[in-house]
Amino acid sequence: MANIKSQIKRNRQNEKRRLRNRHFIGKARTFVKKARLSMEDGTMEEARQATRNAIIALDKAAEKGVIHKNNAARRKSRLMKRMNALEKENAK
């Protein structure tokens, strides 16, 4: 345990930030997982909505600085790539 007053405060701040970051990362991860699962065995409309929710969650995480904006862009791109392939497949 730290003895220095400024380090004690820094530890408190770090803990608050860690909990906030976990919230946004967990939310984004959950929505991405739901989107992937709905693409595999859900209806197209359900998959579209789940993908929208995942994109929103990733954008919020990037906006808060929890994940890097390029990381969010890459994940969104991969999700949309899957979604578009699924839509092409269903259009046939």
Do 51 and 7 form a contact (C-beta atoms < 8 A)?
Answer: no
What does the pLDDT look like over 9-41, one tens digit per residue? Answer: 999 999 999 999 999 999 999 999 999 999 999
- Helical pair 69-91 and 44-63, crossing angle rounded to 10 deg: 170
Q: How far apart are CA 67 and CA 25, in angstroms?
A: 8
Do 76 and 57 form a contact (C-beta atoms < 8 A)?
Answer: no
Which ranges in 1-92 belong to alpha helices (H)?
A: 5-41, 44-63, 69-91
Residue 81's domain is classified under what CATH number?
Answer: 1.20.58.110
DSSP letter at 77 equals H
For the chain, how many structural domains are there in total?
1
Residues in the chain: 92
- For residue 31, give its domain range: 5-91
Q: Is the full-model pTM beyond 0.95?
A: no
Residue type for position 52: R
What does the pLDDT look like over 34-91, one tens digit per residue? Answer: 999 999 997 899 999 999 999 999 999 999 999 999 999 999 999 999 999 999 988 8
